[in-house]
Copies of this chain bind each other. A is one copy, B any other.
Amino acid sequence: MSRTIKLLLAEDQSMVREALAALLGLEEDMEVVVQVARGDEVPAAARAHAVDVALLDIEMPGATGIEAAAVLRREFPDLKVVVLTTFGRPGYLRSAMEAGADAFLVKDAPAAQLAEAVRKVLAGERVIDPTLAAAALADGANPLTDREREVLRAAADGSTNAELAAALHLSQGTVRNYLSTAIQKLAVRNRAEAVRIAREKGWL
């Protein structure tokens, strides 16, 4: 036994993706058998290639790595999923775990942890940054309702209330109410801060 570990690698930045593949290629017992640059290409890639572990970046076009993880979890219950991200946001960790990820790594962790995490998840372990886990627990769950998140996300680019109302088919007053409640829940004083905090927490 102990044949080569076959990996799927999903990451939108070519240079980073291929560099990670080169890094993993240095491991004697690992091989990246398929690479994709979009989240929505992950399921098809998993169907086309028998892989043991999927390494998924979060920020990708098409679908996030977390969404892709949820799909893989349903369709391939035995496939291990490692979520990899630039931003150590507590809310991301929480979402990734809820989507069924086996490991959660931030890109500023030492490179050695990547191969290590692959081996651990195959051994049935879960790998998460303890600091981030603590932060996720401390923050609690996302306090925003679907609508509040939707409005806040739409407001993030600097749209005015009138534009938001038109885009979301709501009245201006309703838009303002949602933003007002979001602002209060996040304990800030205006929409710009609300957007910033929600982003930092990974709640947006």
Contact = CB atoms under 8 A, between A and B. Distances in A.
A157 interface: yes
A19 B19 CA distance: 5
Interface string A132-160: 00000000000000000000000001101
A49 interface: no
Nearest to A114: B15
Contact of A22 (B13, B22, B107): B22
Contact of A192 (B26, B86, B158): B158
B190 A18 contact: no
Contacts of A23: 18-19, 22-23
Interface in A109-128: 109-111, 113-114
A195 to B, nearest CB: 7
A14 interface: yes
Contacts of A20: 15-16, 19
A71 B199 CA distance: 34
A192 B157 contact: yes
Nearest to A193: B158
A18 B157 contact: no
A3 interface: no
A52 interface: no
A160 to B, nearest CB: 7
A36 interface: no
Contacts of A194: 158
Contact of A160 (B110, B189, B195): B189
30 contacts: A13-B108, A14-B107, A14-B108, A14-B109, A14-B110, A14-B111, A15-B84, A15-B107, A15-B108, A15-B109, A15-B110, A15-B113, A15-B114, A16-B16, A16-B20, A18-B110, A19-B19, A19-B22, A19-B23, A22-B22, A22-B23, A22-B25, A23-B23, A157-B193, A158-B189, A158-B192, A158-B193, A158-B194, A158-B195, A192-B192
